[in-house]
Structure 1
Amino acid sequence: MRLYVWILLALWPILSKAISAPLAQPDIDVYDTASLRRGAKLYVDRCLGCHSLKHLRYLRLKQDLQFSDAEFKALFPSLERITGTLTSSMASEDATHWFGVPAPDLSERARALGTDWLYTYLRGFYQDDARPFGVNNLVFKDVAMPNVLWDLQGKQIAVIEEVDSTPSVRGLKLVEPGALSPKEFDLAVADLVNFLAYAAEPSQLERRRLGKYVIGFLIVLALVMYRLKQAYWKDIH
């Protein structure tokens, strides 16, 4: 119980900000290999420079997402050996110096806060010149992370309304389009979040596949045990 209390206290600043805006719901399917492959490529290109994935090993990624040797080499051109977990090249001390906090494992954010929160968060950056990187976030106010997807999404501004004489962000408006259309960008972010949901527990693919056989076996075993019980007790009754 003490451990749960400490976890809750550690996550409370994030959780309190996470519930400040309605959350969008992406189409998450960790069995969609094509989506996971697209999400993996986007993650390696845009996120892995800062955010490690300590629960996902390179070899597991290659096998689960069915990358050929050539595709995997193109994805990780500087990787000499397919060993260890996906590790950022940025040291935790450097992240703390530049951003104020160590860069978190985003797969753990997906697991702790949910894919809806992470999907809304990645789409929720808007211009704010008062912030060090010139952006703020709709669901995580005063976030330290820059918007690494800005060129794909374009520039958004906050729609401000006054509530009880207090300015409040009520939504976002796209004022400068990016390389992707809004629909294409939403699909790309959904692929990225889908990949992070998989990376949070890579073994879930195998666990879920085996789970249906285990449940089937238990059902059959229960029927056998029930008939056995009837056979043992028939003369007693």
Structure 2
Amino acid sequence: MHRAYGLVDTLPIGGETERMATPRLRLAPAERRRQIVDAARTLYSDRPYDAVSTAELAEAAGVARGLINHYFGDKRELFLVVMRESIMMPEQALPDLEGRTLDERARLTMDWILEAAETYGQAWVAASGAANLHGSSDIQAVVDEADDRAARLVLDALGLPDTPRLRARLRPTASLVKAVCREWLQRGTYTRDAALDLLTDNLLLFVRYDHHTTGDDS
């Protein structure tokens, strides 16, 4: 009986058995899955979802096409995994904000977000710009999850309470962050400093407007 990672050697494709031209390393399931996700992220960083075929994904990962379905069910599920990983803000490496004013915290937080976007580069921008697919509930669920998580991280960085109302005020700013990063990284219409100024001012506007109109955080 074959173990899961033994499937890399031979799988029935199109009614025939596709054998690898050269020997391939047998990997544990988690390692093989990671290999496929990394290859898919590279392809999706340059091309939209509909422009990448299952055969191309398999070739880029160095596996038989059947393994895409074996590990992910179908191409769509693989894309969702890539998208979720790509648009989630990392929690590590936040700047030291202890003793900073709200203005300083806001600017340093947005600078950290831009640095992350620049580090992830086109992969992050392409995935976060999947707005064309938002009509699908599965894509929208991933985007909503990422936006809510980002709002919580930003509130924590600003030293503000994580309340439903404040999260609701910050979630819409995620769309602006993504749009500004696309203008900066893809189109070159913004400099990094201009992007930082715009996003910092916007963040402070949303936070301060809430304080001025309600006077509390409940």
TM-score bin, normalised by smaller chain: under 0.3
Please give the TM-score of this superposition, normalised by the length of structure 1.
Answer: 0.23
Structure with more helix by fraction: 2
Query: 1 or 2, which has the higher strand percentage?
Result: 1
Larger Rg computed on CA atoms: 1
What TM-score results when the alignment is normalised by the length of structure 2? Answer: 0.25
